[in-house]
Structure 1
Amino acid sequence: MNNEPNGLLLAHRAMLRDLDRCAGLAAGLARSGERLDRKRATAIAGYLTDFCDSIHHHHSAEDDVLWPVLERSAGAHVDLTELTDDHAVLDPKLARIRSGAAAVATNRTVPAELAADLADLRDTLHEHIADEERTIVPLIKRYVSDDEWNRVEAAIRRRGAKMSFEVPRILAVSTPGELAEARREGGIPVALMIKLMPLPFKRREALVFGAGR
Structure 2
Amino acid sequence: MARTDRIRVHPRADGDPVPDVLGMRLAHRAMLRDAHRLTDLAERLAAAPATDGGHADAVAGYVRDWADSVHHHHSAEDDVLWPVLAASAGPHVDLTELSDDHAALDPALDRLRAAADAFRARPGEDTATALAVELGELRDTLTEHIGDEEASVLPVIERHVSVADWAAVEARIRRRARLSFEAPRVLAVATGEERATIEREGGLVLRLLLAVLVPPFRRRERVVFSGRSS
Q: What is the CA–CA distance in structure 2 between the aligned matches of 1:35 and 1:162, rounded to whole Å?
A: 32
Structure 1 unaligned blocks of 5 or more: none
Q: What is the CA–CA distance in structure 1 between the aligned matches of 2:46 and 2:71, rounded to whole Å?
A: 25
Partner residue in 1 for 2:72: 57
Q: What is the CA–CA distance in structure 1 between the aligned matches of 2:130 and 2:207, rounded to whole Å?
A: 42
CA offset digits 1:15-42 (Å, max 9, x no partner): 010000001111121122x131111111
**187-196 or 141-150, larger mean C-alpha shift:** 187-196
Instruction: Name the one with the larger helix percent.
Output: 1
Partner residue in 2 for 1:135: 152
Q: Is the 8 A contact 2:43 2:128 kept in 1?
A: no
Q: What is the CA–CA distance in structure 2 between the aligned matches of 1:181 and 1:7, rounded to whole Å?
A: 11
Q: Is the 8 A contact 2:45 2:51 kept in 1?
A: no
- Which of residues 93, 97, 121 is equivalent to 2:138? 121
Residues paired across the two proteins, number? 209
Choose 1 or 2 for highest CA Rg.
2
1:43-122 → structure 2 map (5 Å cutoff): 43-109=58-124, 110-122=127-139
Q: What is the CA–CA distance in structure 2 between the aligned matches of 1:114 and 1:186, rounded to whole Å?
A: 37
- SS of the residue aligned with 1:197? helix
- Which of residues 43, 47, 52 is equivalent to 1:31? 47
**189-198 or 82-91, larger mean C-alpha shift:** 189-198
Aligned-pair distance for 1:189?
1.6
Structure 2 unaligned blocks of 5 or more: 1-16
CA offset digits 1:132-155 (Å, max 9, x no partner): 000000000000000000111111
Q: What is the CA–CA distance in structure 1 between the aligned matches of 2:101 and 2:203, rounded to whole Å?
A: 38
Q: Structure 1 residue 207 and structure 2 residue 216: aligned?
A: no
What RMSD in Å do the two structures reach over aligned CA positions?
A: 1.2
Report percent identity of matched pairs.
54
- Which of residues 180, 195, 214 is equivalent to 1:179? 195
Partner residue in 1 for 2:9: none
After TM superposition, the score normalised by the length of structure 1 is 0.94
Q: Structure 1 residue 191 and structure 2 residue 207: aligned?
A: yes
Aligned-pair distance for 1:195?
3.1
Q: What is the CA–CA distance in structure 2 between the aligned matches of 1:208 and 1:43, rounded to whole Å?
A: 6
Q: Structure 1 residue 5 and structure 2 residue 21: aligned?
A: yes
After TM superposition, the score normalised by the length of structure 2 is 0.87
Q: What is the CA–CA distance in structure 2 between the aligned matches of 1:80 and 1:183, rounded to whole Å?
A: 32
Q: What is the CA–CA distance in structure 2 between the aligned matches of 1:10 and 1:157, rounded to whole Å?
A: 13
Aligned-pair distance for 1:68?
0.5
Aligned-pair distance for 1:157?
1.7
